[in-house]
Amino acid sequence: MSEELETTSGQQYLDKDFSVELNFKFWTTKGARFVASHRFKSINKLSSYSLGFLSAYLIILGLLSVFEIGPELLISTKHFALISTSLSILILVFSQLEGSNDYRLRAEKFHDCALEISELYNKLRYLKTSSMKQDEINKLSEDLSIEYSNVLKKYENHKYIDFLMFQTTKNDYFKLNWLNIGIIKLRYYLNTQFLYHVLIIVPPILIYWLIK
């Protein structure tokens, strides 16, 4: 959260009382964690799709060799077999690496973390709207802060891009213009979806070129 509190919008809360600062932390962190959960769900889906498509493309390459369509004009049968085998190994390694990332599990954990912080946020909001004195609110806020720290210790930290994407959902509050939003969404796309789209789209183009 250190990077998040360095933003202009966050800095103004550091100059106010502790409960106001804590309210901002709860709000931004739970928002960023929900975004992180969505990001990992998206990556998990695209990862499955890309592995499926890559396997299908590999089968298609094998069929091209069997029916002697196109590739024999460019490379020898032995070289084509070597390329197919190498691609099979690369896909196997890629699938193992993707599986080790546990995208679905991490998405669930980020979602659970966001829900826990949301509960703390609601408690703090209730305190601030109650008839308690400020000293009492600050004391209970300190207890909530300890609970908040314990929650954060249980989970992986989100990426800064998750916080930036959360800002785009509250662009009026964070004073983002269309250019800021566009740059953030581009960064998010490059970090989340670009690689998988390349793996899905580029191979059939290469196969078509090989046949032609």
pLDDT tens digits, the chain, 212 residues: what are they? 434 444 445 555 545 567 788 889 999 999 999 999 999 999 999 999 999 999 998 888 777 776 666 545 556 666 677 777 888 898 999 999 998 999 999 999 999 999 999 999 999 888 877 767 777 777 888 899 999 999 999 999 999 999 999 999 998 889 999 999 999 999 999 999 999 999 999 988 887 776 66
Q: What is the pLDDT of residue 152?
A: 95
The one-letter code for the residue type at 190 is L
Number of neighbours of residue 149 by Cβ within 10 angstroms? 9
Integer-rounded Cα radius of gyration of the chain: 25
Contact (CB, 8 A) for 98 and 118: no
What angle do helix axes 18-66 and 77-100 make, rounded to 10 degrees?
160
Instruction: Locate 25 and state its tokens.
Output: 């932390």
C-alpha pair distances (Å), 83 with each of 87, 89, 175: 6, 10, 52
Q: What is the pTM of this model?
A: 0.82
Contact (CB, 8 A) for 37 and 111: yes
Q: What is the pLDDT of residue 7?
A: 46
**Nearest in space to 124 (alpha carbons), one of 17, 32, 34:** 17
Q: What is the pLDDT of residue 126?
A: 84
Q: What is the pLDDT of residue 86?
A: 83
